[in-house]
Amino acid sequence: MTFPALVEPAAELTIDEVRRYSRHLIIPDVGMTGQKRLKNAKVLVIGAGGLGSPALMYLAAAGVGTIGIVEFDEVDESNLQRQIIHGQSDVGRPKAESAKESVAEINPLVEVVVHAERLDNDNVFRIFEGYDLIVDGTDNFATRYLVNDAAYFLQIPYVWGSIYRFDGQASVFWPHATLEDGTSAEAPCYRCLYPEPPPPGMVPSCAEGGVLGVLCASIGSIQVNEAIKVLTGIGDPAVGRLVIYDALELEWRKLKVRKDPNCALCGENPTVTGLIDYDDFCGAISDEAADAAAGSTISVTQLEHMLKEREEGTRDFVLVDVREPNEYEINKIPGSVLIPKGDFLNGSALEQLPSDKQIVMHCKSGVRSAETLAIVKGAGYADAVHVGGGVVAWVNQIDPSQPSY
C-alpha cells in the first residue's frame, strides 16, 4: 500500500545539514524533500531502554528535527548489556537525561524534549499532543494498551516493537491512515492484533526471562526504518503487517494483520470510548493470586527473622524459590530450595512439598510466587505465605552484597 508522507517538508536545509545528511540526499527516494520532512518531524519515543536506545540514536542520526523522550527510570548496571545509549558513568542517573546527552553528541542539530515522568492516564494526552509519530519501546502490557488507545484518540500513528529472549516483533499501527488516493487504508490497531492481554503471569517480562542484548538493536532499528518511511512517504510501511524475527534461527517472517470489525476500540461498535484502568485491564496478578496473597504476604524483614528462628530451632518451614534455575544461579535467599513455577503448574511440585511444615514462597519480585501461592493453598496448605518483593527486596534491604538483575 502507498501512503502519503506524514510530515510536510521544512523550508530549507542549512549547509551543515546538507553535509551531515549527504548520504540520505543522494538516495533518490529520500532526496532533499525527504530530508526536509525529517527535519520538520516531531517524534516521541516512549522509553529510553532496550528498544528506545537504538531508536533514539538512529532517529537523531537520521535528522529527525524534534525528538521527545518519555522516561522516568534511572540507569542500572543491568541495563548496560542492551541499553547502549547509556554508559558506565551514567549508572544512577535519570535515563532521560543520559539519553538526551547521547542524542546531542550524535547530532547537535536535533532538539530533544524530555518528559521525565511515568506515562499514565493523567498525562498521556498532554505528552502525545504535538507529535507527528510515536515510537513505542515499552515493556509492559498496561502501557502498550494505554499508548495504543491514546494514539488512536489523537489520531497519531505509532511504531510498536516487542522483544523477549531471542524473539522480536514490530508493526505500524495507524487506524486512521488514508492511502494516496484518499481512501481509507482500513488499518488495524494493537487491539486488533491482541484484543486481550495474556493472563497474568503467563508471559514473563524481560526482567524475568531475559533478552539477547543485540536483539534490541535489530528491532529498534526496524522501528526507526518504519518511522522514516511513514514520515517521508517512501516505501511500503508495515501497516497491517506483523514482522517477526527469530534471532536464534536468523529467520524473518511477515504476517498480515487485518482490521477487526469487532475491535473494542476501532471496530464498528466500539466499547472503549475513552481511557480505561489499564492496570486492572491487564492485571499484574490474577484474581486467584490476589486472593491467595491477601493476608498471606510477609516482608523480607519478617523472613529474615523467621530464618533466624529456624537456625535456632524454634521454628520450621520450607522456603521455596519458584524462579528458573539460571536466575537461582545469579542470586538467592540463603536456605531456600529451588522448585520452578512450571513444576507447580504441571502439578509435580506438590509431591516435593512436606505436609507437616509451613511453605514460604518467593520469586524475583512477588508476582510468580503469588501465582504459585494460589496453587499451594488450593492443594490444602492453608498456612502457606509468600514474600512480597521477592529477591529484589531481599538484595536491596537485607543483603546488598549479592548482585541484582
Catalytic residues: 206, 363
Contacts of residue 95, defined as CB under 8 A and 6 or more positions apart, other chains included, come to 48, 49, 71, 73, 74, 75, 79, 83, 86
Nearest to 134 by CA among 118, 110, 156, 149: 156
Query: Number of helices (H) and strands (E), helices first, in the chain?
Result: 17, 13
Rounded CA gap, 9 and 32, in Å? 9
Amino acid, single-letter form, for residue 354: P
C-alpha cell at position 232 = 517521508
Q: How many CB atoms lie within 10 A of CB 23?
A: 8
Task: Look at residue 162 and give its three-state secondary structure.
Answer: strand
Residues forming beta bridges with residue 281, ordered by sequence position = none
Rounded Cα distance between 308 and 400, Å, is 18
**Cell of residue 239, nine digits:** 501497516
Q: Can you tell me the distance from the alpha carbon of 149 to that of 142, in angstroms, rounded to the nearest whole number?
A: 11
Contact 247, 222 (CB under 8 A): no
Task: Give the torsion sign (CA, 118, 150, 284, 330).
Answer: negative
208, 210, 216, 220: CA torsion to nearest 10:
-30
Name which of 115, 84, 82, 85 is nearest 101 in CA terms.
Answer: 85
Q: Which residues contact 254 (CB under 8 A, 6 or more apart)?
A: 238, 241, 242, 243, 244
Starting at the earlier edge strand, list the strands of the sheet with 385-387: 297-298, 385-387, 358-362, 317-321, 336-338
Four-residue CA torsion sign, 319, 322, 325, 327: negative
